[in-house]
Structures are given as structure tokens and as C-alpha cells.
Amino acid sequence: MIHVVIVDDDSEVRNGIAMLINGTHGYRCVGAYGNAQEALDQVPHLSVDVVLMDINMPNTSGIECVAKLKALQPTLQIMMLTSFEDNEKIFQSLIAGASGYLLKKTPPTKLLEAIDELHNGGSPMSNQIARKVVETFRTQPVGSKDTVGLTEREQEILSHLAKGYRYKEIADTLFISVETVRTHLRNIYEKLHVRSRTEAVLKYFNK
């Protein structure tokens, strides 16, 4: 059972997603809040796997809320669910701690798949958003001073991670086990002082 929280000031959107989640086997909505402050007050006291976060909300934005929630619960998985497609908000969200970014026009089945993917360590993004991320990263200098302490194998794994490879794809490409990939990633996270693949990739691209 994947426990989901929705944070969106649009009650129609909030209620519609809650109905979708509660009506699907294996998912449960454990909270739906209309503003960031309600989420900050309630989420730390709930058993939550995934948070779906809008950006444009009164008083405190969704991006600010992400940063505050991650400070309280570093392992919390958060996915932006918004109408914004501009680069600035995408990267502000990722830097704040979001591990996924979907547009509200995402079909219901794709939203459920993305929740499952995020829960299992992935970083789901709408196609339009993923394209913007890739195009922006192509213009960035690859490899920051933060990554020089990584071994050659760790650099290799981080490079594949930055290209969007899943753990199994990295394992198959490098002819190693998925558990070995996970072990390397734990070492990478520790050396880079990060808590998620998104933060690691941002350091890789010197963001």
C-alpha cells in the first residue's frame, strides 16, 4: 500500500486526485491539504510515502514547502504536480528536494504509474519536463569539484544516473548486480553529502 498526500489549493483538483488514489488498489490518500502550512503541520505526523505538491499556492509556495518538508523528513518522496513548465521553477523544485515533476494534464493512469515509480526510487517526469531538463543539462559543464572524490566506477554510475538510467539498466550496462549499484550509490550519496539521486545529479551538473 502506497500512502499518498496531496497538497493543492484547488479543491476540485485535490478531491479528484484523492478519489483516483482511493479508488485504485494498492494506493491510499492519507491527507489532502489546501495550503503549504496545513501540510507542514500534518505531514510529519502521518505515515506518508509520496507527496504530490502544487507550486502556486497562497502565502507559502509549493517549492518552499518541499524544502521545509525535506528538512523535517529527508527520506520523504515528493513529486511536483503543477501547470508550470518553465525552467526556473523546474530546477528550483529539484534543488528544494523534489524527486519528480509532472504536469497536471498527465493522464490518471500515468499519474498512478509515476507515484509507484517514485515510491520505488525513480524520478518520474512528464515528457516535456524531461526534455527541458536534458536540454538545460547539455549546456552545463559536466562534473563539478564536488565529484572529484568519487572513484572511477562511482563517476561512471553517476554519469548513467544523470542520463536517466534506472538501477537495473545501469547494472545491465556495467555488468554488475543491482545490489552493487545500490551500494555504489550509497557511497556516492555519502561522499557528495546528498540524500537523493536528484541532488546527486544536480551536483554532477554543477548546479
State the CATH number of the domain containing residue 79: 3.40.50.2300
Residue ending a domain, among 95, 121, 136, is: 136
DSSP string for residues in 42-61: HGGGS--SEEEE-S--SSS-
Domain around 78: 2-136
Residues 12 and 112 in one domain: yes
What CA–CA distance (Å, rounded) separates 45 from 41? 8
- For position 145, what pLDDT does the model report? 54
Residues 130 and 178 in one domain: no
What Cα–Cα distance (Å) separates residue 68 from each residue in 2, 24, 59, 64, 126? 22, 30, 14, 6, 24
Residues 116 and 158 in one domain: no
Residues 14 and 93 in one domain: yes
Residues 23 and 78 in one domain: yes
Residues 52 and 88 in one domain: yes
Residues 83 and 151 in one domain: no
- For position 128, what pLDDT does the model report? 74
Which spans in 47-177 are helix H? Answer: 62-72, 87-96, 108-119, 127-138, 152-162, 167-174
What CA–CA distance (Å, rounded) separates 87 from 107? 22
- For position 206, what pLDDT does the model report? 62
Q: What CATH number has the domain bearing residue 194?
A: 1.10.10.10
CB atoms within 10 A of CB 190: 9
- For position 65, what pLDDT does the model report? 94
Residues of the chain with pLDDT under 50: 141-142
The helix/strand/coil state of 185 is: helix
What CA–CA distance (Å, rounded) separates 25 from 95? 32
Residues 11 and 69 in one domain: yes
Residue ending a domain, among 136, 170, 191, is: 136
**Number of structural domains found in the chain:** 2
- For position 137, what pLDDT does the model report? 57
Residue ending a domain, among 120, 136, 152, is: 136
- For position 136, what pLDDT does the model report? 61
